[in-house]
A and B are shown apart, each in its own frame.
Chain A
Amino acid sequence: MIEYRLDPTSGVPTYLQIVRQVEHALRLGLLQPGDQLPKVKDVVAALAINPNTVLKAYRDLERKGIATGRPGQGTFVQETLNVVPLEGVRLLRRGLDRWLAQAAAAGLDDDAVRALVDAALYDAARRRGVTAS
């Protein structure tokens, strides 16, 4: 069983923080198919958040095919996330390291790099027609 924690300063909607923590736990193998997600009542009592927020997160996970609700029992993990093959991650990482070296050579500090990455992600999302969240 996992526990959720919330970052009040992140600006990320609460339900999305829960969704991402479940996805993250799946990628790390902390959650596996068949595992039960924390019960809505327990999450609500621990975090003092609106029950609908937890329900919204679980509905989102169900819609993505990651979790499934069993009436009267709770919500259970259905699938592991498609993990990018390790070799692919290594290649991407090498390219990113090269790019970071170029950025440093061009005089960008860490904050400038983050701002640039955020802007690029934002523009890419807009090109796909998705509202950035």
Chain B
Amino acid sequence: MNVIEARRLSKRYRRGVWALREATLAIPEGRVVALVGPNGAGKSTLLTMVVGLAVPTSGELAVLGGLVPGSVEALGRVAFVAQDPSLYPNLSVADTLRLAGNLSSRWDEADARARLAALDIPLRRKVGQLSGGQQAQVALAVALARRPGLLILDEPLASLDPLARHEFMATVMAAVAEEGLSVVFSSHVLAELERACDYLVVLARGAVQVAGDVDELLSEHSVLTGPAEQADAVTAGLCVVREQRTDRQSTVLVRDYDPVRVPAGWRAERTNLEELVLAYLRTPSVSALPGPASGNRTMAAPLRAVDA
């Protein structure tokens, strides 16, 4: 089952701006997905359509194995936490839970109370008097108490301090371990998602540029380092994502490289997620997407981007 399936999904706002253009994507069940990309890449647009808060201009979008976003079935099983949690500051935490419970088809009040008790968040306190980290935890507890199959978090960490970020992530990861729900995080800071996510989607300019299992993506890519004067010969015929060259040394991120073939004087190393994402974002002409059902992966023509 795919928790999100988009086919040629587009969204154009009234001003005529395309926020998303022909995005095609299939995210399998049970993953923790990092949705990354620069500001304006279309992350929030995609997520608001997934949760049913916006309607696609064209294309197809389904959640949780074929449900229509925004339909009653989908609303009952997709939970959403926005960057600024939409809580009522004058309600107490207990009243917030009561309100959310009344508005939800499925509701596990005991679960929410246990989570908040574990974090020492007092139920009688008004939400507006809680710290930013505590408010985020209340919003998360409300989302998890709805027992969702898919949890969408749009820039959830943006306004939190490091400790609150860690606690927020820990709560989400523990819920994944216990309940096996699927999670999509959006962020423009990859470092904070690197250890939590096992599936990566990079959006750039309204299109999907990279999508795939994190371990697979990392093992498919290598960083080759060696003398600049040999770089052209060494990289000929390789899938070059990005090359950086000084007058002496060349550093090349390549895809589908056989590390046994490293030429003398060169070194092949594994890459990390941040390096990989930055390389793709800086080279918009190259993409790494899952291929058709045959499992073959396709790649755009290996255009070179040489940094002098």
Report which A residues bind B (CB closer than 8 A): 6, 8, 11, 13-14, 40-41, 44-53, 122, 126, 129, 131-133
Contacts and interface: CB of A to CB of B under 8 A. Distances in A.
10 contacts: A14-B195, A41-B177, A46-B170, A47-B195, A48-B196, A50-B32, A50-B196, A51-B177, A52-B198, A131-B259
B174 interface: yes
B220 interface: no
B166 A44 contact: no
A130 B174 CA distance: 34
Majority secondary structure of chain B interface residues (helix, strand, loop or mixed): helix
Contacts, number: 57
B94 interface: no
B276 to A, nearest CB: 13
Contacts of A13: 218
Interface in B1-53: 32
Interface of B: 32, 166-167, 169-171, 173-174, 176-178, 195-198, 218, 259-260, 262, 267-270, 272
Contacts of B259: 126, 131-132
B195 A53 contact: yes
A119 B80 CA distance: 48
Contacts of B268: 132
A103 B166 CA distance: 44
B173 A44 contact: yes
Contacts of B195: 6, 8, 14, 47-50, 53
